Amino acid sequence: MKDQSSAVKTRRRHHERQFKDDLIAQSLVPGASVSAIAMQAGVNANLLFKWRRLHVQNSALAAAPPPTLLPVCVIPDRASAFTAPATAPPADDRCAADTVPACGVIEIDLAGAQLRLRGAVDEAMLHSVLRAVRQTA
């Protein structure tokens, strides 16, 4: 026959949500002793510390602002992408893959000169301007 004590299984206690919330609230009061609160309630102090840690983590996640999504325009890397389109892109399709957006600014500080380019930039013209600026420096 088996021993009676081995047949008895220890069961975990399950605490009500309100009970946990009350203990967490008491333990979060400045100057409160978590060990004393746990002892008075009949739970292990480590268990109350675990409840507090989970509560603080969940509160931080709930208070975090939602991520900000930004629009992205992807233009393929090919030689034709660097030349201005023959016609202006339609107003509602500025980020089409076969056109270069007319918006944007390129600023270059080179040899004491500042060059600011707005809109679509012709690659050959930019190359000529940069060469002239370098030669005068």
Per-residue pLDDT tens over the stretch 60-96: 878 777 777 777 777 766 654 445 554 555 555 544 4
The percent of residues in the chain predicted with pLDDT above 70, rounded, is 69
73 within a domain of the structure (yes/no):
no
One domain for residues 53 and 83 = no
115 within a domain of the structure (yes/no):
yes
One domain for residues 43 and 87 = no
One domain for residues 59 and 86 = no
100 within a domain of the structure (yes/no):
yes
2 within a domain of the structure (yes/no):
no
* Domain count along the chain: 2
One domain for residues 59 and 87 = no
One domain for residues 83 and 125 = yes
Q: Pull the structure tokens for residue 102.
A: 């007319």
Across the range 5-34, mean pLDDT stands at 86
101 within a domain of the structure (yes/no):
yes
Q: What is the DSSP letter of 116?
A: E
* Domain of 101, in residue numbers: 79-136
Q: What is the DSSP letter of 8?
A: S
What are the strands, taking DSSP E only, across the chain? 105-110, 113-118
71 within a domain of the structure (yes/no):
no
Of the pLDDT bands very low, low, confident and very high (cuts 50, 70, 90), residue 8 is low
113 within a domain of the structure (yes/no):
yes
Exposure letters 83-97 (e unless 16+ CB within 10 A, then b): eeeeeebeeeeeeee
Per-residue pLDDT at 20: 94
**Torsion-angle region of 112 (φ positive above 0: left; ψ -120 to 50: alpha; else: beta):** left
3-state helix, strand, coil in the chain (%, to 5): 45, 10, 45
3-class state of residue 118 by DSSP: strand
Q: Are 112 and 137 in contact (CB under 8 A)?
A: yes
